[in-house]
């Protein structure tokens, strides 16, 4: 089966065919670095990291562009609720770029914790003001933008009238029609400047207190909310590229506006496949500022948020996200995260042991059924990924394979039950899917040579004690280490292993 993605634009699964194989261009909307990323933000970045990894696995040469939005209204986090006068005071005290710097670092740190591969290009909005201005000029020249009091707006109604004739109405992506919106759009600032309520800003005149401002043909101001993505995607991926990704909540208006802007400038819908991940919910509600239920990533990793009963490792969170298919909502709870934590540990412990085993090619399987079953499970992994990235099914199959590995380890099945070739194949495919595609890495816990040495020493002492049947000493070592979060396990062969909790 060929690789298929669900394309939000056509509302169906489609076979993925790059415009210019083997090259693939992918644009994903990145963070606004005016605050710290939260659990909800983790989902698109992990989802599209897996898309990126999988495309690389398929042999494509992928240029992955993920922007950083560092222009616009910047206020110190947590101060947003204050009125405009007091937030003006915050801006006076603090350079916007100081915030940008701080939260960009935190964001990169979080991405690294999640083991996300860095994108090929990570452009900033402030670094592409010139490109954005040029694009706006083109839109005005073509008659789809107009100037009002130093701001520039996109004429959505005109665009819709003209492009409906080409079957590309405004709303083509989100499936809404303009008539509905003309009635329902809420009052915004400077509404009277617009010809129509649905028009959106391409460039905004900067009020006196606005620190982030740039010269433009229309006076000092700053770019509108949607133009940066159009400008940067065009610059680095061309007028038409393969994949545009982001969260479902960006579908409208952000991506819709991107399509309108790029279509005017480049005369085509910018991306062929539009991929949208669904939201992470908490008690059934989307995580977001307006709901006051945001768990920041740093709080998640150190367990400091009141709703959390414990800290969760970044890999646990990644695994939690990958246990579901990206287009469905995913409900957060401590119970669910704890389940993921245990499951991930079981998976990685089995995998780690198995990876270190050596097998000989060419041996014959004594249990042909098991041999065939293993081959089937492994072969299905790619099929599941090809079907719109069903990582949930991939994970499920990994857990089908685990009992065989553990049985091999505990000698419940003989090594020759399965052919050497099959074992080698399973090894290789598990590494491919667990490490390279799902991007899960072995969490070594405390990775410190001296600590490791001390634990090894305690294990030696405990082995001695056990051989003397001095169970008091033996249990003391095990229990006290357990209290410190280090679990000792007696293996079947008399050896002892340990894990960190």
Phi-psi region of 11 (alpha: psi -120 to 50; beta: other; left: phi over 0): left
Please state the closest distance from residue 11 (CB atom) to RNA, in A.
Answer: 8
Please state the closest distance from residue 171 (CB atom) to RNA, in A.
Answer: 9
C-alpha to C-alpha distance for 432 and 428, rounded to whole angstroms: 6
Q: Which position has the token pair 């061309």?
A: 238
Which residues, including other chains, have CB under 8 Å from residue 470's CB and lie 6 or more apart? none
Inter-helix orientation angle 368-386/391-409, to 10°: 160
User: In this complex, which beta carbon is closest to RNA, that of residue 86 or of residue 399?
Assistant: 399
User: In this complex, which beta carbon is closest to RNA, that of residue 18 or of residue 33?
Assistant: 33
Please state the closest distance from residue 372 (CB atom) to RNA, in A.
Answer: 13
Token pair for 146: 């107009």
User: In this complex, which beta carbon is closest to RNA, that of residue 18 or of residue 70?
Assistant: 70
Please state the closest distance from residue 479 (CB atom) to RNA, in A.
Answer: 9
Up-side HSE of residue 407: CA atoms within 13 Å toward CB? 13
Phi, psi of 209 (to 5 degrees): -80, -5
Please state the closest distance from residue 393 (CB atom) to RNA, in A.
Answer: 4
C-alpha to C-alpha distance for 395 and 390, rounded to whole angstroms: 9
Please state the closest distance from residue 22 (CB atom) to RNA, in A.
Answer: 28
Q: Give which of 437, 328, 429, 323 is closest to 386, Cα–Cα.
A: 437
- Measured over the CA atoms of residue 49, residue 50, residue 55 and residue 58, the dihedral's sign is positive
- Measured over the CA atoms of residue 86, residue 87, residue 88 and residue 89, the dihedral's sign is positive
Range list of β-strands (E), 404-461: none
C-alpha to C-alpha distance for 384 and 394, rounded to whole angstroms: 6
User: In this complex, which beta carbon is closest to RNA, that of residue 287 or of residue 458?
Assistant: 287
Range list of β-strands (E), 417-468: none
Please state the closest distance from residue 498 (CB atom) to RNA, in A.
Answer: 10
Please state the closest distance from residue 248 (CB atom) to RNA, in A.
Answer: 6
Three-state secondary-structure class, residue 409: helix
User: In this complex, which beta carbon is closest to RNA, that of residue 354 or of residue 359?
Assistant: 354
User: In this complex, which beta carbon is closest to RNA, that of residue 18 or of residue 244?
Assistant: 244
C-alpha to C-alpha distance for 443 and 501, rounded to whole angstroms: 10
User: In this complex, which beta carbon is closest to RNA, that of residue 167 or of residue 187?
Assistant: 187
C-alpha to C-alpha distance for 43 and 325, rounded to whole angstroms: 11
User: In this complex, which beta carbon is closest to RNA, that of residue 208 or of residue 472?
Assistant: 472
Q: Are 258 and 229 in contact (CB under 8 A)?
A: yes
User: In this complex, which beta carbon is closest to RNA, that of residue 407 or of residue 431?
Assistant: 407
Please state the closest distance from residue 143 (CB atom) to RNA, in A.
Answer: 23
């Amino acid at each position: 089966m060929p690789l298929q993605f669900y394309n939000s634009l056509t509302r169906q699964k489609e076979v993925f065919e790059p415009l210019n194989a083997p090259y693939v261009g992918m644009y994903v909307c990145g963070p606004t670095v005016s605050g710290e990323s939260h659990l909800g933000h983790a989902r698109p970045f992990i989802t599209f990291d897996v898309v990126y990894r999988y495309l690389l696995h398929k042999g494509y040469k992928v240029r992955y562009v993920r922007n950083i939005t560092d222009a616009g209204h910047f206020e110190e986090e947590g101060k947003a609720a204050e009125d405009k006068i007091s937030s003006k005071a915050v801006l006076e005290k603090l350079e916007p770029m100081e915030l940008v710097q701080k939260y960009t670092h935190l964001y990169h740190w979080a991405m690294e914790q999640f083991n996300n591969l860095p994108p090929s290009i990570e452009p900033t909005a402030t670094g592409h003001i010139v490109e954005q201005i040029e694009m706006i000029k083109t839109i005005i020249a073509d008659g789809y933008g107009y100037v009002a009091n130093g701001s520039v707006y996109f004429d959505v109604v005109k665009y819709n009238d003209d492009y409906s004739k080409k079957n590309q109405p405004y709303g083509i992506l989100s499936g809404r029609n303009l008539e509905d919106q003309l009635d329902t759009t809420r009052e915004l600032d400077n509404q009277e400047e617009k010809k129509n309520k649905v028009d959106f800003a391409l460039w905004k005149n900067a009020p006196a207190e606005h620190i982030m401002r740039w010269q433009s043909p229309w006076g000092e101001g700053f770019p509108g909310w949607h133009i940066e993505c159009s400008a940067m995607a065009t610059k680095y991926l061309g007028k038409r590229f393969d994949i545009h990704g982001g969260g479902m909540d960006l579908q409208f208006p952000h991506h819709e506006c991107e399509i309108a802007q790029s279509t005017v400038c480049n005369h085509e819908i910018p991306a062929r496949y539009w991929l949208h991940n669904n939201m992470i919910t908490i008690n059934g509600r989307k995580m977001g500022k307006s709901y006051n239920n945001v768990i920041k990533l740093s709080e998640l990793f150190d367990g400091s948020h009141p709703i959390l009963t414990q800290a969760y490792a970044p890999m646990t969170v990644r695994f939690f996200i990958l246990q579901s298919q990206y287009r469905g909502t995913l409900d957060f709870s401590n119970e669910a995260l704890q389940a993921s934590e245990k499951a991930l540990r079981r998976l990685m412990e089995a995998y780690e042991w198995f990876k270190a085993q050596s097998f000989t090619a060419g041996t014959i399987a004594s249990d042909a059924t098991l041999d065939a079953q293993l081959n089937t499970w492994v072969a299905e992994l790619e099929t599941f990924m090809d079907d719109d990235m069903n990582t949930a099914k991939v994970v499920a199959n990994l857990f089908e394979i685990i009992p065989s590995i553990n049985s091999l380890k505990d000698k419940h099945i003989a090594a020759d039950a399965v052919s050497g070739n099959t074992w080698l194949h399973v090894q290789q495919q598990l590494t491919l899917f667990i490490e390279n595609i799902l991007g899960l890495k072995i969490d070594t816990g405390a990775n410190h040579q001296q600590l490791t040495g001390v634990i090894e020493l305690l294990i030696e002492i405990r082995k001695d004690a056990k051989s003397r049947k001095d169970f008091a000493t033996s249990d003391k070592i095990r229990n006290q280490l357990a209290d410190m979060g280090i679990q000792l396990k007696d293996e079947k062969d008399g050896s002892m292993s340990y894990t960190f909790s």
